[in-house]
Amino acid sequence: MYQVISGRPLSEQNQLELTLGATTRRDALPRVPAPAAAGPSAFHAFAEIGEVIAATAGKLEKVRILSEYLRSLDREQLPIATRYLTGKAFAQSDPRTLQVGWAVIFRALLAATKIDDSELHRIASSHGDAGKTALEALEGRTVAQPFTLVQSKQLFDELQRARGPIAKTELLQARLAQLSAREGQYVIKILTGDLRIGLREGLVEEAIASTFAAPLDDVKEANMLLGDLGQAALLASTGALHEAELSLFRPIKCMLASPEPTADAIWQRFAEAAANAQVIYVEDKFDGIRAQLHRGAGRVEIFSRDLRRMTDQFPELAQRAEGFDAELILDGEIMAFEEGRKLTFFDLQKRLGRKSEGDDLFATASADVPVAFVAFDLLLLNGRSLLKTPLRERRELLRGVRLPEQFHLSKIFPAHSAEEIEEAFRLARGRWNEGLMVKDPASFYSPGRRGMFWFKLKKELATLDVVVVGAELGHGKRNHVLSDYTFAVRDDASDELLPIGKAYTGLTDVEIAELTEHFKQNTLVNHGRYREVKPDTVLEVAFDSVQPSTRHASGLALRFPRIKAIRRDKTVAGIDTLAYARKLAEPRRDTSAPRGRSS
């Protein structure tokens, strides 16, 4: 007899949320409000513009509306509103965090509206979205006062400086009580870091370029160098985009690699880009976290790939980095590393700790796991930006930098054919790495961009046939469907179903709608947003690796699980076993890691 293991929804690494575009016809769009940016209703005008953007399907129309709005703002308001349009209170390069979680927001809404606790819980459960919850809760329950963009910035600054949830709740409650429901909704949207109005940063960049007749590439480059779209907009407004430059302690976005499924596909890409391509660089794709290290005179900072400061998370690396004999910016990977061998990402997770309400992901270490920094690129050296320097020259300069203890240089190897790329991939997986990075030696460093210069080759380790034992409502535009699935394998010894992971990527909207109806009709226990369901739906799930873990009842955890297919041809009797999953978790014999200097 199969037994469903009950519990809270499982977490998953790097899950994506699909945002669906609006489908409203242009002739049915609401009238664009007069921005009134200079008046007391400036924040309300911003919120109304957000609603118009959300109801607009066409990209060009979105850009036109944004351009009209940005043109109405003065120099003080422009950078504030532009940052808000990315869903953030602060610039990406700004290390400050608000640390205002749902518990603070919930208590502030209760105090501002005098609404009943159970009623607010009902509203929140019906939406699954903090902004929509605020809109309904605040409607008709506040006395709106004038609220400018500058005042909104002051609010976020004060919330950031406030210490402790009580102080933050009091500040937020006092302001919400004086806002209209729409304004409150957008304050909460910014606090949670996501406007959810179908607006990408790229569209805001296009609007800035259109508004100030500036080259789009110049706007993008300024944004990447500054890590501050608001400041980029301000420079564009005065024709000064050329003043943006790379500097220490102002992190930039990482250059990205385009995924390809095979070595042949990657070699063909290089052949198309450069007919005379004779050699390309390959290096292992490491199973750690991307990091950017800035070392200046008397100061070291480490930033995550999303530009958050995480120096305090790795104090030993920061201390060792003081041993560099140059001012520099390194791009690399932080890995769990002990006694000359690299450990797994799951070991590194113990070091990262857990994200809790209002906490930075990198706030507190939960285990003493040794780490190393593996450098694979050099972006700045002694005041000289290397972004427009070819990779082969950056690597040569990096080879000349003396590396302190706990720092390594990634090995790169030349490849001359698809066959050599495939062999390098096989060896990388044999070293228990994620896959392979393939780079053009002539490539410049393009922050935040994917292009035809860097590629990554990752092949699925295997797939598992699993059964869904839990279904949860999604978020944003999926908050009304059961789109997040907790799944299990079967234990041969006990015949129990043991959860091993959770995924919500890979299925179409039609498939999710079908599964939603099925799970609603086959719910065993309803916990509100999460339901234990009858174990009769089999999924084929792909992943990059499987490792021992105490987080799940199976004792295992999947790295980057994603749904490949609904296996309607299989029943729960045919799913994979815990023994098979454990076999996939067995370490491979070659655990060599980067060491010394290699080019």
Question: Measured between alpha carbons, how far is residue 535 from residues 1, 409, 440 in Å?
Answer: 12, 48, 48
- Angle between the 102-113 and 165-176 helix axes, to the nearest 10 degrees? 40
Q: Please check whether residue 385 is in contact with residue 252, taking contact to mean a CB–CB distance below 8 angstroms.
A: no
Which residue out of 168, 285, 342, 411 is catalytically annotated?
Answer: 285
Give the distance between the most distant pair of CA atoms in the chain.
Answer: 72
Q: Which residue has the tokens 């945002």?
A: 19
Q: Which helix H or strand E contains 160, and what residues bound it?
A: helix 149-161
Nearest to 128 by CA among 508, 529, 489: 529
| Side-chain half-sphere CA neighbours of 344 within 13 A | 17
| Side-chain half-sphere CA neighbours of 65 within 13 A | 27
Sign of the C-alpha dihedral computed for residues 446, 306, 156 and 137 taken in this order: positive
343-359 as b/e: b if 16+ CB within 10 A: bbbbbbbebbbeeeebe
Q: Please check whether residue 373 is in contact with residue 409, taking contact to mean a CB–CB distance below 8 angstroms.
A: no
Q: Which residue has the tokens 């406030």?
A: 162
Q: What are phi and psi of 84, to 5 degrees?
A: -60, -35
Residue 113 makes CB contacts below 8 A (sequence gap 6+) with 120, 137, 138, 141, 142, 176, 177
* Separation of alpha carbons 236 and 234, rounded Å: 5
> Is 285 one of the annotated active-site residues of the chain?
yes
293-309 as b/e: b if 16+ CB within 10 A: bbbbeeebbbbbeebbb
Residue 328 tokens read as: 């520099």
Catalytic residues: 285
